[in-house]
Amino acid sequence: MGVKTLTKQEWNPTQYQSIGAFVPKLGEPLIALLAPTPEMRILDLGCGDGTLTQVLAVSGASVFGVDASPAMVQSAKEKGLTAQVLDAHHMAFSQEFDAVFSNAALHWMTEDPQKVLHNIASALKPKGVFVAEMGGEGNIAAIREAIQKALASYGLDIEQISPKFFPSVKRYQTMLEQSGFEVIQIETFPRPTPLPNGIRAWIETFATGILEALPQSEREAFLQAAETYAKPKLLTGDGWFADYIRLRFKAVKRS
């Protein structure tokens, strides 16, 4: 097939709520880290279907969600939330928010992660708070290794068709500081996450861009191969799990 370049991840809100419900659930500790209050105006960056946006809004804060997926934004709006389709690379807010909150979204923003941080800083008022969690260095390494092995026979490279940004603590702290933030706390930690529906369902939900790079007739064989390659590392006596490593931080805009 030859080498293909980036293919777009498409999100299905119904499928996400069924297969990926663990993502917002495991992001709830971030809300405690932010500690929202009624007087806050908060930007939920990569709000997805609005599950955590709703939780933020319970505090009484004014919450505005943005996401690059029209389907996810529509799902958020159907929950009664204020949300807009917007790519973080192209945000142009100017000191409009007291806080920016982001869960499991920043690692999808691979075009220019530093520009994303600059745009976040611009969106915040002086001393505004930025709280986020994303994939850290080594995140889903075993999953991506299995997928790459399954892609090899098609002449495809996962880094070209589905790049991700999983930085180390040192690298991301430097990037935050270069964008005008003081880092209050930052850490990485492993979070092996059960996948009750198996690795195949995970790929079909979180790696649609990879499937789109393959002919329809080849997708079943690819999924079977990826599952086979993943088994030694990701299937245990208790079932399938995802080898997540998370990067969590809190930072404050300097001025």
Strands 124-135 and 239-253, sheet pairing = antiparallel
Structure tokens at 53: 């946006």
Strands 41-45 and 235-236, sheet pairing = unpaired
Rounded-to-integer distance, Cα 250 and Cα 181, Å: 10
pTM for the predicted model, two decimal places: 0.93
Q: Which residues contact 188 (CB under 8 A, 6 or more apart)?
A: 136, 137, 168, 169, 245, 246, 247, 248
For range 207-234, the mean pLDDT: 96
Map residue 39 onto helix, strand or coil. Answer: coil
When the pLDDT of each residue in the chain is averaged and rounded to a whole number, the result is 93
CATH H-level superfamily of 13-253: Vaccinia Virus protein VP39 (3.40.50.150)
**pLDDT tens for residues 17-55?**
767 777 777 778 899 999 999 999 999 999 999 999 999
Provide the pLDDT for residue 3: 44
